[in-house]
Amino acid sequence: AGVAKTLFRTLARSIRRLRVGGRKGPVLPSKSTSSSTTSSSSSSTITTTSSSSTPTAGIRLIEPFDTRVWGNGDYVPQTSQKMILKNNLPQSLFDGESATALLDKAPCKIRYEDVYPQMKGSGLELEALDPDVLMRLLKLGFEKGESLQEGFGAAHFLSTQEELRSCTSAHLTKGIVLIEGTSIPVASSQRPDKTTSTFCYRISIENVGKEETFMLLGRHWEIFDEGLDKVIATVPKGSPGVVGHRPFLSPGGRFVYGSGAELETNKGHIGGSFQMVMNSQDSGGTEEEFDAIVSPIPLHEPTATS
């Protein structure tokens, strides 16, 4: 019982740290849970702020990934927050009518800038999960007698979310090109002459506009090693495509690919831009070339969280 209480407090602290926007907390749940109508998942988890919307506190989950994305790219729709949760927590947590009702109540909206300050003024909202509802769902699992192993699995997932958020950046260019990048450490090696750290990163390029279409023509990268305080590698501006692709994106389209970088120390970042060409109906179908900014993506080893 003592271990279970400690584990539950650990989960509560992780949720508190992941929570953005609205009041701080979380407010721990009461024992009663009310049913709700089922809410369908939208094909897009990013919307433009409207006058009737009221973004609240929420937790924005980042879909986990591994090195299999390295060198690959494809057109991939956004995964709903509910599906990320279901795909990464013990399935027994979602058994029963009470758990299903809570899961249906979980989705909410938050402002993009609450998660990534560099997105301030973007006017975009993100699908997120209500932290209080998530806490009730976890508490329900403990009341149903979930094993400690499943509880530790949930704690590990939430801890991983903290790491992923610390290694993620986002930037919006021209109000239509949304680029989000996330890195994970792969390996560190030590040789007599130096130590190297390898990282894999995933890039999401999404068209959040309403009419414009665009195509990626080229890329420009700079890899900065903070331990050496200098740029250690550069991909020249205009280098063709990404992982063999030149994605073309209509409104709502999203392309995701993975690649990697190596540092001589264990901390740095990678950033740059993509060279784009846009076709706008508002301007009679004329083409415009521009750079879509990739905000520096942090590269670092995991840090312990208390």
Q: Which one has a higher pLDDT value, 86 or 149?
A: 86
Query: CA 289 to CA 48: how far, in whole Å?
Result: 24
8 Å CB contact between 107 and 39: yes
Q: Regarding predicted confidence, which is higher, 253 or 24?
A: 253
Beta bridge partners of 109: 127
Q: Is 211 exposed, middle or buried (0-12, 13-18, 19+ CB in 10 A)?
A: exposed
The pLDDT value given to residue 306: 41
Q: Which residues pair with 288 in a beta bridge?
A: 278
- Determine how many CB atoms are found less than 10 A away from the CB of residue 60: 23
pLDDT at res. 141: 78
Helix-strand-coil split of the chain, %, nearest 5: 25, 40, 35
What pLDDT, on a 0 to 100 scale, did the predictor assign at position 142? Answer: 72
Q: Provide the pLDDT for residue 140.
A: 84
Q: At a CB cut-off of 8 Å and minimum separation 6, what does 77 contact?
A: 43, 44, 254
Comparison of pLDDT for 52 and 180, the residue scoring more: 180
Which is more confidently placed, 11 or 39? 11
The band of 150, judged by pLDDT with boundaries at 50, 70 and 90, is: confident
pTM of the model: 0.85
Lowest mean pLDDT among 64-73, 252-261, 274-283: 274-283
127: helix, coil or strand? strand
Per-residue pLDDT reduced to its tens digit, 184-223:
999 776 666 667 899 999 999 999 999 999 999 999 999 9
Question: From CA 103, how far away is CA 286, in angstroms rounded?
Answer: 46
CA dist 199 to 39, 53, 66, 69, Å?
A: 37, 38, 10, 12
Contacts of 186 (CB under 8 A, 6+ apart): 67, 198, 199, 200, 260
Name the percent of the chain lying above pLDDT 70.
82
- Residue 132: closest CA among 16, 6, 306: 16
Residue type at 122? Answer: S
Distance CA 177, CA 205 (A): 7
Selection from 247, 198, 241, 234 nearest residue 218 by Cα: 241
Q: Roughly how many angstroms between the first and final C-alpha of the chain, as a whole number?
A: 21
Give the position of tokens 């729709």: 77
- Candidates 234, 222, 236; CA nearest to 299 is 222
Per-residue pLDDT for 179 more than 70?
yes
